[in-house]
């Protein structure tokens, strides 16, 4: 095998800041890095005197086909470019920080007349106040429970606020002052907003003190019901404060990172401190990480904070990133957040203790993930043995067809990686060739379209294909795979249990067990009905079924909404879609005024008046 000539490549790489892209012999980008000095960084991978024990570094001369460089003006620009390139190319050996929907924040826009607390996935630079991130939906629900019960702010969206004519249930149970209906003093409402912000900022002690004064004042004025509400609010806040652990100076937001590594497997842990109190933690697991710890950590931090996560005042790291990069990273975080950010590697004191806590949690998360993977692997090995599969079923794909009396025929593909659903790889299919109800033909079209991409090298092949159905559906899958020459892929079908009546008088019923059909085998395999292997097959089958049904229902709703707008003269398909996209429902379109309709892209005065007259004719 021809070795990569790194000597010739090093000769043309300058001593400049920038990014380097490593490509394999097929031209695919396998790693992207940044450096203050590109020549020195690239040279370090091939220095014989380095004694680097990592397996990947030893393989580099055999793997690499080329190294491209992109020179930048400074280290900060290299950081920004690296983040962009990694997200675009997703190299195999870089950390991949997926869009994790568990990162939730709370948003309060104090610029609107009647602010409310909103749950958002990704903070924006829109002038609103953001609080978080919250590491789980459970954590944010607990906070919202306290806010909704005690802080007297509206919970309805703006569209409801603008169109409500009488107070809702929240007003009846004294959880909202109903600014949608009543002429409320804004200063009084903004007082509730300020208290909410104090609570979310972690200034609980100050808020409790204020509530005690309000409670005493209300008691003196004989307003005992109001005093009781302040008391309940104060007690609820005190309970929240008791659950939080103070770990540093008040009003300081801090993220502390730790990691644990065994070979190419790595777990990174972040611990969140908000207003001096420990509020949560989150772990990230990675594989194929054979590059130096400092490089991996630098890439992770770059991706993590560029993904919209909350940027605190202090970031504490367990190790130093590349020389000269700390200041560039601080400058980048300052630009992203709008405030000064201190990035440090603490050696002693409370900050170091917090980093050690993150390191300990990273090790426990790594061990827990390893134990979970071991259990999953044992399950998959049992499934492979019980069904006599040629491949270990690390990647399983399941397909299902959905239609209603032959209309809107759709298919679904769901993917399980190592026993767990990977929803980022789910796919929907609309049938293009089969236009009448024929499940066999529909399945044949779906699988042909899917596996042609595998043959062309655009998609990775599965280890096991699971089909919802019996021998007929299995036969279609086998035919497609054989026609395309994909003989190495295992395929099975899972048939639902049948209902058999027993007797004629009592009409009692029994259910047959679910059966697994295999190619070339007459009788199905019947797995133990309470076994983990059968449960896994049922789970992926049900996931495919639900995914197909959900897509089919959305198409039917969309078609129904569009058809209800067909009677409006002069409104074309594009305008219908824009109306539905803007208002969200047919009812909102009917309730819209001419001015509201003019806010839709492409709707002029004549069209807006036509739509309004259509829905208000005779009213």
Mean pLDDT score of the chain, rounded to an integer?
82
Two structure tokens written together for 553 = 């229902």
Give the mean model confidence (pLDDT) for residues 310-318.
90
- Residue range 481-489: mean pLDDT, rounded: 91
CATH no., domain 565-616 = 1.10.150.20
Q: Which residue has the tokens 């409006």?
A: 568
- CATH number listed for the domain at residues 395-553: 3.30.420.340
Q: pLDDT, tens digit, for every residue of 175-211?
A: 888 888 888 888 889 988 888 887 777 666 677 787 7
CATH 3.30.420.10 domain extents, the chain: 254-367
Question: Element (H or E) spanning 132, and its range?
Answer: strand 129-134
Query: How far is 463 from 313, CA to CA, in rounded Å?
Result: 47
Are the C-beta atoms of residues 333 and 305 closer than 8 Å to each other? yes
Residue 482: its pLDDT value, please? 92
Tell me how far apart the alpha carbons of residues 24 and 268 are, in angstroms, rounded to a whole number.
Answer: 27
Positions of CATH 3.30.420.340 in the chain: 395-553
Cβ neighbours around 22 below 10 Å, total: 22
| pLDDT at residue 461 is higher than 60 | yes
At 556 the pLDDT is: 63
Q: Which span out of 65-79, 88-102, 542-556 was modeled with the highest average pLDDT?
A: 65-79
- The answer to whether 152 touches 119, Cβ cutoff 8 Å, is no
Q: What is the pTM of this model?
A: 0.58
Interval 423-433: pLDDT, tens? 888 988 888 88
Q: For residue 20, what pLDDT is reported?
A: 92
pLDDT exceeds cutoff 70 at 321: yes
Could you tell me where in the chain the CATH 3.40.1440.10 domains are found? 6-89
The residue assigned the tokens 């839709």 is 600
Q: What is the mean pLDDT of residues 92-113?
A: 75
Q: Are strands 64-71 and 18-24 parallel, antiparallel or unpaired?
A: antiparallel
**Confidence check: pLDDT of 229 > 70:** yes
Sheet holding 129-134, edge to edge: 117-120, 104-108, 129-134
Lowest mean pLDDT across 31-40, 131-140, 314-323, 390-399: 131-140
- The matching CATH number, chosen from 3.20.20.100, 2.60.120.10, 3.30.420.10, 3.40.30.10, for 254-367 is 3.30.420.10
Is a pLDDT exceeding 70 seen at residue 508?
no
Least confident of 251-255, 379-383, 477-481: 251-255
**Can you name the CATH fold of 6-89?**
GIY-YIG endonuclease (3.40.1440)
Which residues, including other chains, have CB under 8 Å from residue 363's CB and lie 6 or more apart? 260, 267
- pLDDT above 90 covers a percentage of the chain that reads 16
Comma-separated ranges of CATH 1.10.150.20 domains in the chain: 565-616
């Amino acid at each position: 095998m021809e070795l990569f000539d790194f000597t010739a490549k090093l000769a043309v790489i300058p001593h400049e800041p920038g990014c380097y892209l490593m490509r394999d012999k097929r031209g695919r980008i396998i790693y992207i890095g940044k450096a203050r000095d590109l020549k020195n960084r690239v040279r370090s991978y091939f220095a014989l005197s380095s004694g680097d024990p990592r397996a990947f570094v030893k393989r580099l001369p055999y793997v690499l086909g080329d190294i491209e460089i992109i020179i930048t003006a400074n280290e900060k620009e290299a950081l920004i470019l690296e983040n962009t390139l990694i997200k675009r190319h997703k190299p195999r050996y870089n950390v991949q920080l997926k869009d994790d929907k568990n990162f939730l924040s709370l948003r309060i826009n104090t610029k609107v007349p009647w602010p409310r607390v909103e749950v958002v996935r990704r903070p924006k630079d829109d002038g609103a106040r953001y609080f978080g991130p919250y590491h789980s939906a459970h954590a944010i629900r607990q906070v919202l429970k306290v806010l909704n019960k005690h802080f007297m702010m509206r919970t309805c969206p703006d569209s409801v606020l603008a169109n409500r004519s009488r107070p809702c249930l929240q007003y009846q149970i004294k959880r909202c002052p109903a600014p949608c209906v009543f002429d409320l003093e804004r200063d009084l409402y903004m007082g509730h907003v300020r208290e909410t912000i104090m609570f979310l900022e972690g200034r609980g002690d100050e808020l409790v003190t204020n509530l005690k004064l309000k409670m005493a004042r209300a008691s003196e004025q004989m307003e005992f019901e109001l005093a009781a509400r302040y008391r309940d609010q104060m007690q609820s806040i005190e309970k929240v404060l008791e659950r939080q652990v103070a770990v540093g100076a008040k009003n300081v937001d801090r993220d502390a990172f730790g990691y644990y590594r065994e070979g190419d497997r790595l777990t990174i842990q972040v611990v969140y401190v908000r207003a001096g109190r420990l509020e949560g933690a989150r772990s990230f697991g990675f594989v194929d990480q054979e590059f130096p710890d400092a490089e991996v950590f630098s890439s992770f931090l770059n991706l993590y904070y560029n993904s919209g996560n909350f940027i605190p005042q202090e970031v504490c790291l367990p190790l130093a990133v590349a020389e000269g990069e700390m200041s560039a990273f601080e400058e980048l975080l300052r630009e992203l957040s709008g405030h000064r950010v201190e990035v440090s590697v603490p050696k002693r004191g409370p900050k170091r203790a917090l980093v050690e806590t993150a390191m300990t949690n990273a090790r426990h998360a790594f061990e827990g993930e390893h134990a979970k993977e071991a259990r999953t692997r044992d399950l998959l090995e049992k499934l492979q043995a019980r069904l006599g599969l040629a491949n270990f079923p690390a990647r399983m794909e399941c397909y299902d067809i959905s239609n209603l009396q032959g209309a809107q025929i759709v298919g679904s593909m769901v993917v399980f990686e190592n026993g767990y659903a990977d929803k980022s790889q789910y796919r929907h299919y609309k049938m293009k060739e089969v236009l009448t109800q024929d499940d066999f033909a529909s399945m044949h079209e779906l699988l042909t379209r899917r596996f042609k991409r595998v043959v062309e090298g655009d998609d990775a092949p599965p280890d096991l294909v699971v089909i919802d159905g019996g021998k007929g559906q299995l036969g279609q899958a086998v035919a497609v795979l054989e026609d395309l020459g994909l003989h190495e892929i295992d395929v099975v079908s899972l048939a639902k249990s049948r209902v058999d009546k027993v007797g004629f008088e009592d009409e009692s019923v029994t259910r047959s067990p679910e059966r697994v059909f295999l190619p070339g085998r007459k009788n199905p395999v019947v797995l133990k009905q309470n076994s983990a292997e059968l449960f896994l097959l049922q789970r992926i089958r049900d996931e495919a079924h639900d995914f197909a049904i959900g897509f089919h229902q959305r198409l039917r709703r969309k078609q129904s909404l569009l058809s209800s707008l067909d009677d409006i003269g002069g409104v074309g398909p594009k305008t219908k879609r824009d109306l539905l996209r803007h208002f969200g429902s047919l009812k909102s379109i009917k309730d819209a005024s001419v001015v509201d309709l003019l806010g839709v892209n492409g709707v002029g005065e004549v069209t807006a008046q036509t739509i309004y007259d259509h829905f208000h004719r005779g009213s």
